[in-house]
Amino acid sequence: MKHESIKLQSLHHYVGGRRIEGQGGRFGDVYNPAHGAVTKRVPLASREEVGQAVALAAEAFPAWSATPAGRRVQVMYNFRDLIRLHMDELAELVSSEHGKTLDDAKGSITRGLEVVEFACGTPQLLKGEYSASVAAGVDSWSMRQPLGVCAGITPFNFPAMVPMWMFPLAIACGNTFVLKPSERDPSCPLRLAELMSEAGLPDNVLNVVNGDKEAVDTLLTDPRVQAISFVGSTPVGEYIYHQGTAHNKRVQALCGAKNHMVVMPDADMDQAADAVLGAAYGSAGERCMAVSVVVSVGDGPADRLIEMLEPRLESLNVGPYTDETAEMGPVVTPDAKAWIEGYIAKGVDEGAALVRDGRGIRIEGHEDGCFVGATVFDHVRTDMSIYRDEIFGPVLSIVRVDSYEEAVRIVSEHEFGNGTAIFTKDGDAARDFCDRVQIGMVGVNVPIPVPLAYHSFGGWKRSLFGDHAIHGPEGVRFYTKLKTVTSRWPSGIKDGAVFNFRQGGEH
């Protein structure tokens, strides 16, 4: 399939409960990565178009926030059923624009679905606290109220899950929402918004505008937007955090990662090798919780791991999502492929040992596809760019250290602090690691320690800017503000006096 032979499908925005054609005159390319060809064009919203979506969301806020929480979550129950019903269609939208296998796409939609299920419980989560008689005749109570218009800016790698980390909870809490998904794979988020309408959400409560920096900058500076949830790369997230907070918004910006898996000499190596295979190469390494560094304590684990990975990687089936047997798909665009291959070249120049080279992989019938094969570097040093930078592809670096202490130190000193894991049979070492390591999400013999929806997800250091992790209890706190009421009522009952409204005897 050649680029020129494909008729480009035009995408749209979803505003006010309907599809809206872009008026801004600018468009972005959406690829089918399995072919490396542009198949759709997405409108890039102008300032005016984003402003219009924000205006409608602001208009919808008073009525939606006044809707009882129990009624608001009925929409989430319906939405959950619709996602299940449309699972195959949604997965196809994800895979055809992102490239990941259908199983992987379904897995990620299911993770998002779990947040929708969590959002069904918001009436319970919004309950406040109450203290009777803090002084004579005085009671004190607190409640959590929604913020207003919230915005979400999301990355390409999870076009279903990451938007669902945000809008279901924000909306269930009584906010209205403007989503600006990644312009690289916008079809699934657009479809999710349609399903929210079908689930009974009033028009204007959820709007999706496609766009790039211009759309994001509009959201960051519009005074009607109260809060921004961002997930994406660190340079962009840091910019969004500073711009958003400078404009008095609440911001949570979840960013880049370099997740280390420490393998101790006593680890179960079968378990560790299987874990590395899934965690480093699943979704072609385009996961913020992917393992991109193995820290081998002593030479034993590294030597054994390479030996055990070799046959596993040899038989790893790389292919398009349309091939049901494919275990790893392409990366997202030709640019992403060039970026990853550039890092493989840098690793060689910097002197790392290239154990397995994923460049030049050829998939029959998909010769122009954005495929990069599984790559392994050994003897990586911490001053190399392949160690320091987030590559976001199927490239694993193995770093050898002499001691457990050195392992804890290098993991903790890395600028990113999203996830890490330790593989060991030693409970003492595992406990010490969990306690001391400077990372937000930690696994013990679990390579990708992603918290479930009812916990909160978030890294430390330059992997998260802001005070709140996403979804779970922290998500509820992020999308609501606390109000505390102290009230005194004249208490004349002990004097025999009664209030007027009780005199009729009805109360």
What residues are labeled active site? 288
Q: Which of residues 402-431 bind ligand NAD (CB under 6 A)?
A: 418
Element (H, E) at 134: strand 130-135
58-63 long-range contacts, Cβ below 8 Å, gap at least 24? Answer: 58/148, 58/149, 58/176, 58/224, 59/204, 60/176, 60/202, 60/203, 60/204, 60/205, 61/146, 61/148, 61/149, 61/175, 61/176, 63/202
Quick check: 155 binds ligand NAD (CB under 6 A)? yes
Quick check: 395 binds ligand NAD (CB under 6 A)? no
Looking at this protein, which amino acid is placed at residue 328?
M
Residue whose CB is less far from ligand NAD, 159 or 369: 159
Quick check: 95 binds ligand NAD (CB under 6 A)? no
Exposure string over 455-468, b if 16+ CB within 10 A, otherwise e: ebbbbbbbbbbbeb
Q: What's CA 227's distance to the chain center, in Å?
A: 17
Site mask, ligand NAD, residues 193-222, x = CB under 6 A? Answer: -------------------xx--x------
Q: Minimum CB separation from ligand NAD for residue 180, in Å?
A: 6
Q: Minimum CB separation from ligand NAD for residue 247, in Å?
A: 14
Residue whose CB is less far from ligand NAD, 15 or 401: 15
Mark the segment that binds ligand NAD (CB under 6 A) among 177-185, 275-283, 344-352, 407-415. Answer: 177-185
Quick check: 233 binds ligand NAD (CB under 6 A)? yes
Q: Minimum CB separation from ligand NAD for residue 303, in Å?
A: 30
* Phi then psi dihedrals of residue 226, to 5 deg: -95, -30
* Phi then psi dihedrals of residue 255, to 5 deg: -125, -155
CB–CB of 181/307 below 8 Å?
no
Element (H, E) at 172: helix 161-172
Residue whose CB is less far from ligand NAD, 141 or 454: 454
Q: In what order do the strands lie in the sheet with 37-44?
A: 9-10, 37-44, 26-32
- Choosing from 34, 53, 164, 231, the residue that interacts with ligand NAD (CB under 6 A) is 231
Residue whose beta carbon is closest to ligand NAD: 232
The residue to which tokens 């030049």 are assigned: 360
Quick check: 254 binds ligand NAD (CB under 6 A)? yes
- Choosing from 463, 466, 475, 478, the residue that interacts with ligand NAD (CB under 6 A) is 463
Q: Minimum CB separation from ligand NAD for residue 418, in Å?
A: 5
CA atoms of 466 and 149, how far apart (whole Å): 18
Would you tell me which residues interact with ligand NAD (CB under 6 A)?
A: 153-158, 162, 180, 182-183, 212-213, 216, 231-233, 236, 254-257, 288, 390, 392, 418, 459, 463
